[in-house]
């Protein structure tokens, strides 16, 4: 019976390691997408009521 428990806990720990790696990959993926989206973002007039002269287009 003890061997059986040991086997199950071994399997669980390897499953947990793989799941941990998948989650870490997911976090890295979302982080990289966020960085790319922010660095590729167009110039935006933020909602801070401050005029940005560089965004004014010539009439």
CB of 52 to another protein, least distance (A): 25
Q: Does 3 bind another protein (CB under 8 A)?
A: no
CA 16 and chain centroid, separation: 20
> CB of 45 within 8 A of CB of 52?
yes
Assigned token pair, 13: 């720990």
Q: CA–CA separation, 50 vs 46, rounded Å? A: 8
Span 9-48, contacts to another protein by CB under 8 A? 11-12, 15, 18-19, 29, 32-33, 35-37, 40
**Which residues sit at the interface with another protein, rule CB under 8 A?**
1, 4-5, 8, 11-12, 15, 18-19, 29, 32-33, 35-37, 40
């Amino acid at each position: 019976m003890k061997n059986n428990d040991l086997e199950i806990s071994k399997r669980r720990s390897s499953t947990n390691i793989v799941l941990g790696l998948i989650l870490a990959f997911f976090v890295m993926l979302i982080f990289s997408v966020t960085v790319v989206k922010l660095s590729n973002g167009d110039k935006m007039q933020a909602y801070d009521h401050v005029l940005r002269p560089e965004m004014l287009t010539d009439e």
